[in-house]
Amino acid sequence: MLQYLLDMIIFALGIYCLIAKRHIIKKIIGMCIIEYSINLFLILLGYRMHGIAPIILPEMNNSYFAQYSVDPLPQALVLTSIVIGLGTLALMAAFAIKLYEKYRTFDMSEIHRLRG
Amino acid sequence: MKQDIIEEITHDRSTGMTLIVKTVAKIMIAMMLLFGFYIIIYGHLTPGGGFAGGVIIAIAYVLMMLAFSRKVALKKLSNFWASIFDNLGMLAFIVIAYIGLGFGYFMYNFIWHGNPFHLISAGIIPLCNIAIGIKVGAALYAIFIGLSIYGRITTKEEE
Amino acid sequence: MLLFDIILIFMIIGTIIAVETKNMLSAVVAVGAVGFGVSLLFLYLRAPDIAITQVIVEVLSLIILIRVATHVDNVAIERRIDNFANMTGLIFIGLFIAFCIWAFTDVIPFANPLMRVSQHYLDAGLRETGAANIVAAVILDYRAYDTLGEAVVIFTSILGAFVILRSKGKKKLSEEDDITVGILEDA
């Protein structure tokens, strides 16, 4: 419960960064922070008290493993999500570079001549 | 012959970073490539897999591009071959998936599973790991080439 | 659990620094600190696959962010302060935290996961796929469609980045019109 709340505070700070800041790099940073928070929340949902990692060792009994291992499904989903985050970060960086080349500023409130 | 070229690049002060960075990077790049391939190949037995190993391989080439110059890195693996490897990895993954269609359903694990806890086991999973690793590594290296070549912001003083 | 909470509070402090600082380079470094804290927590939560991937991806994303952020305009723009956006953001944070306190009373408690589907993966994963790493078995055998979609997303994002970054096309339009590809109609 306390862990969930602390994680959601990080999410709210990321949303605040997206709303209130006008620098484009700050907005990209806000997206990164939201992504960390969501990944961490999904992994938190799958943790089991005194659990072991979902990797079977040769000397391990299968029923013991199935009783004590943590949830492998959120880990598999988050693993793809992290690499997708890197791809979208590169795409956002490309957008920021092009906007700077056209308008000579990173300030969002001055980029209002958006047409064409 | 090849050693002479490497020594010449290392002691060339006009390109890249300083001598200390170049000497350390020369040793580290080989180790990083080896570690990346180890992570990919043993992905079904130990932590890791295609995604992590692919990003390690991409970072080894990015380190080469940062420590030496862009020209040296592009001579090792050009942007043409990076895009070719990207497409080949994607194509290999889809072809493995379609072969499974002939045995039952899409992505069917059709190879004999073998003894567990050995390197050759788990059917198509190591093959898919290799395909994904090549794909992710080449793609991230290509995106860094793109940011490096085209993403140059010209300031007002240069114009 | 004390270590876990300490790392989480460290991450909150790093996030506040990253959001509020004026210097762009220190903001990017603070985001890097938050990312490495996340990877430590992944290791604590028994997820070594994701911890490895998070560390490596963090390094590459820091290189990209530093390259974009600090080439020009290292200092943030603070000419006039937008009071409306600040107030909206703070009100949103308050409402969101209050809603979370109300909603998390119904979420499953910490360290007691719901494992309806995953229990089958843990029971029969080694027998059905032969892989000792159950996460690899899930992403490449049970749920391989997700991995296929992920590969397509990376492919598309790289294509988009190249199209945006290249200011001029490879060929001019007039050159392209002269060459006709395919079956000629009036031959």
At C167 the pLDDT is 65
The ipTM assigned to this model is 0.87
Q: For residues B69 and B6, what is the distance between their CA atoms, to the nearest angstrom?
A: 13
Is pLDDT of C173 > 60? no
Judged on CB neighbours under 10 Å (0-12, 13-18, 19+), C112 is exposed
Whether B155 maps to a domain, the answer reads no
Average pLDDT over residues B62-85: 84
A-chain CB neighbours of C82 within 8 Å are: 20, 22, 109
Q: What is the per-residue pLDDT across C5-30, written as a single tens digit (0 to 9) for each?
A: 899 999 999 999 998 888 888 888 99
Interface contact A100-B153, CB threshold 8 A: yes
State which H helix or E strand residue B30 sits in. helix B19-41
CA-nearest residue to B117 within chain A is A58
Residue C133, strand partner residues: A55
pLDDT band with cut points at 50, 70 and 90 for residue C76: low
Is residue C125 predicted with pLDDT exceeding 50? yes
Mean pLDDT (whole number) for B131-157: 78
Mean pLDDT of C172-181: 47
Q: How close are the terminal C-alpha atoms of chain C, in Å?
A: 79
**Looking at domain A2-110, which of 1.20.120.10, 1.10.287.3510, 1.10.645.10, 3.40.50.300 is its CATH number?**
1.10.287.3510
Q: How many CB pairs under 8 A join A and B?
A: 30
Q: Which of C31, C121, C158 sits opposite A32 (nearest CB)?
A: C31
Residue C183 binned pLDDT confidence (cut-offs 50, 70, 90)? very low
> Would the pLDDT of C96 be above 60?
yes
Cα A29 to Cα A20: distance, rounded to the nearest angstrom: 13
Q: What is the mean pLDDT of residues A12-22?
A: 87
- A98 — contact with chain C (CB < 8 Å)? yes
pLDDT at site C143? 84
Question: Does residue C40 sit in helix, strand or coil?
Answer: helix
Name chain C contacts of B144, Cβ cutoff 8 Å.
Answer: 60, 63-64
Q: B146 in contact with A at a CB cutoff of 8 Å?
A: yes
A31 contact residues in C (CB cutoff 8 A): none
Token pair of A35 as six digits: 């992504």
pLDDT at C126 over 90: no
Higher pLDDT, A15 or B10: A15
Domain that holds residue B8: 2-149
Neighbours of C139 (CB within 10 A): 30
**Residue C182 confidence (pLDDT):** 45
Residues of C with Cβ-Cβ distance to A106 under 8 angstroms: 73, 77
What is residue C34's predicted lDDT score, i.e. its pLDDT? 92
CB-CB under 8 Å, C165 with A76: no
Q: Which of B90, B128, B155 comes nearest C140 by C-beta?
A: B128
Residue B75: partners with Cβ closer than 8 Å, 6 or more residues away: none
In Å, how far from its chain's centre is CA A104? 30
Q: How confident is the model at residue A70 (pLDDT cuts 50, 70, 90)?
A: confident
Cβ neighbours of C83 (radius 10 Å): 9
| Alpha carbon of A112: minimum distance to chain C alpha carbons (Å) | 16
- Report yes or no on B52 lying in a domain: yes
Number of domains comprising chain B: 1
Q: Report the percentage of chain B scoring pLDDT > 70.
A: 93
- Report the share of chain B in percent with pLDDT over 90: 9
- Hey, what are C157's tokens? 């994002």
Distance of alpha carbon C69 from alpha carbon A26, whole angstroms: 9
* Minimum CA–CA partner of B147 in chain A: A94
pLDDT in tens, A24-60: 888 899 999 999 999 999 988 888 888 888 888 888 8
Nearest-angstrom CA–CA distance, C97 and A74: 24
For residue B85, pLDDT over 70 is answered with: yes
Taking contacts as CB-CB distances below 8 angstroms, the residues of chain A near C60 are 86
Contact B117 C132 (CB under 8 A): yes
Give the span between the Cα atoms of B90 and B131, in whole angstroms.
Answer: 7
Is B47–A90 a contact, with Cβ atoms under 8 angstroms apart?
no
Answer yes or no: is pLDDT of C184 > 50.
Answer: no
Q: For residue B91, tell me if it sits in a domain.
A: yes
Q: Which residues of A touch C54 (CB under 8 A)?
A: 39, 82
Percent of the residues in chain C that have a pLDDT greater than 90, as a whole number: 14
B104 close contact with A: CB closer than 8 A: no
Task: Indicate the residue of A55, A82, A101 with minimum beta-carbon distance to B153.
Answer: A101
Distance CA B54, CA A108 (A): 35
The pLDDT of B129-155, averaged and rounded, is 81
The mean-pLDDT minimum among B77-81, C70-74, C137-141 falls in: C70-74
Query: What's chain B's length in residues?
Result: 159
Mean pLDDT, chain C, whole residue set: 81
Report the Cα B87 to chain-centroid distance in Å.
13
B47 by DSSP, 3-state: which? coil
Residue B12's pLDDT band, with cuts at 50, 70 and 90, is confident
Using a 10 angstrom Cβ sphere, with 0-12 exposed, 13-18 middle and 19 or more buried, the burial of residue B115 is: exposed
What residues of chain A lie within 8 A of the CB of B49, using their CB? 79
Let me know if residue B143 belongs to a domain.
yes
Higher-pLDDT residue of A3, C168: A3
What are the residue ranges spanned by the domains of chain A?
Answer: 2-110
Structure letter (DSSP) for residue C180: P
pLDDT at C180: 44
